[in-house]
Amino acid sequence: MLIQSHRQENHLLLSIQRDVLMENSREFYQEFEKAIEGSNFGKLTMDFHLVKFLDSSGIGAVIKASSALHNRGVEIFVTNLNKNLNSVFRLSGLNHILSILTLDEYLSKFPEFQKTLEA
C-alpha cells in the first residue's frame, strides 16, 4: 500500500507511505485514482512525511494526479516535505501548481488533521 487516506468533511488527506519511483509510480497512480474515486471533495492534501525521494517517474505521477484534480476544481496542498523533496518540487515547478505548506503552516490552516498527522 502506497497511500493511506483520511477524510474530514470536504477535505481528503492522502498520506504517501513510501518513496514513489519508477518501479511503483504506476501503482501510486492507481491507488490515487482509487482513493479519489466516487468522492466529492473540494480540497486534497498529499502528506509526504514518510517519503525520502521521488524520481522523475514519481514526479510525473504527482503531476498526473494533480492535473486530474485541477480539472475538477479541487484545491491541492502538499505538506511534510523534507529538504530534498522541497528542492525537487521547486526545481520541477510543482510549487506553481500545488500549494506547498510546512507542517506548522498546514496545521494552523487545517487543525482538524492535527491528530492524523502527528500519529
Written as nine digits, the cell of 82 is: 523534507
CATH assignment of 3-118? 3.30.750.24
Please, what is the angle between helix 25-36 and helix 56-70, to 10°? 20
The one-letter code for the residue type at 48 is: F
Of 40, 6, 36, nearest to 113 by C-alpha is 6
Which tens digit of pLDDT belongs to each residue from 6-52?
999 999 999 999 999 999 999 999 999 999 988 889 999 999 999 99
Which tens digit of pLDDT belongs to each residue from 55-113?
999 999 999 999 889 888 999 999 999 999 999 999 988 999 899 999 999 999 999 99
Q: How far is CA 18 from CA 1, 21, 28, 51, in A?
A: 9, 9, 10, 5
- Sign (positive or negative) of CA dihedral 50, 55, 58, 60: positive
Note the pTM of the prediction, 2 decimals.
0.93
Domain boundaries, the chain: 3-118
